[in-house]
């Protein structure tokens, strides 16, 4: 009888473990994640590794990020943590420095970061900084917003991005410039993303080099 109970417990554990898959085993199809050779968007727990250490972990529901996701530094220290709803950031997201000190707290609504007034932030690199309080008063306090000049970064090739309406780079909503080329090497488009969404001025080129501009 004990052996039968033990077998049932082991099968139950194995069944739970089967739902946890490596993020690299999933395929991105128009913004939804599927297991290879599956025609149904994946639901379950996923985890990604880098150099043998957990890089990020969370849950997918019907192919979209859902619930609490946690990202880590190579040292294993938490990097950021927050909740996704239908694949978009929602609610409070907390960020830490690699030494474990709390760095920034941001509030999101349907994937858009909110300012101190509760309204969506414009497409800038502003952040809401958080000061650490002494141990007798641990609650974090959001301080006055500071403007940070955007950093110039090398554009990322379009093919490296994954996702549908929200584009991801290495599992994180992408912020920065992007370019795409035709097969002959000529430029097809150039623009910028903020938290995975197109923003600002985008330029599209045809095969003859003619361009058109669109703003997001």
Q: Going residue by residue through the chain, which has 216 residues, state the pLDDT in tens, using 9 for 90 and above.
A: 555 555 554 555 555 445 689 998 898 887 889 998 899 999 999 999 988 899 999 999 999 999 999 999 999 999 999 999 989 999 999 999 989 999 999 999 888 888 755 666 654 333 333 333 333 333 444 444 444 444 446 899 988 998 777 888 888 889 999 999 988 888 899 999 998 889 999 999 988 888 889 888
Q: How far apart are CA 201 and CA 151, in angstroms?
A: 17
- The verdict on domain 17-149 having CATH code 3.30.160 is no
SS3 category, 123: coil
Query: Using CA atoms, how far apart are residues 29 and 53, in angstroms rounded to an integer?
Result: 26
Q: Domain spans of the chain? A: 17-149, 151-216
């Amino acid at each position: 009888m004990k052996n039968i109970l033990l077998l049932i417990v082991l099968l139950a554990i194995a069944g739970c473990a089967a739902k946890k898959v490596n993020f690299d085993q999933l395929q991105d199809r128009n913004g939804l994640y599927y297991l290879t050779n599956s025609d149904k968007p994946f639901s379950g727990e996923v985890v990604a590794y880098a150099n043998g250490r957990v890089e990020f972990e969370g849950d997918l529901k019907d192919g979209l990020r859902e619930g609490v996701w946690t990202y880590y530094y190579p040292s294993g220290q938490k990097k950021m943590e927050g909740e996704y709803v239908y694949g978009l950031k929602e609610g409070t997201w907390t960020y830490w420095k690699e030494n474990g000190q709390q760095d920034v707290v941001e509030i999101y609504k349907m994937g858009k970061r909110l300012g101190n007034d509760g309204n969506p932030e414009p497409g800038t690199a502003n952040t809401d900084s958080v000061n650490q309080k002494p141990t007798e008063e641990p609650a974090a306090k959001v301080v006055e917003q500071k403007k940070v000049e955007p950093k110039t970064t090398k554009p990322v090739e379009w093919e490296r991005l994954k996702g549908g309406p929200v584009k991801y780079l290495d599992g994180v909503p992408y912020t920065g410039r992007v370019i795409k080329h035709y097969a002959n090497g000529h430029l097809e488009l150039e623009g910028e993303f903020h938290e995975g969404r197109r923003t600002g001025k985008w330029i599209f080129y045809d095969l003859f080099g003619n361009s058109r501009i669109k703003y997001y």
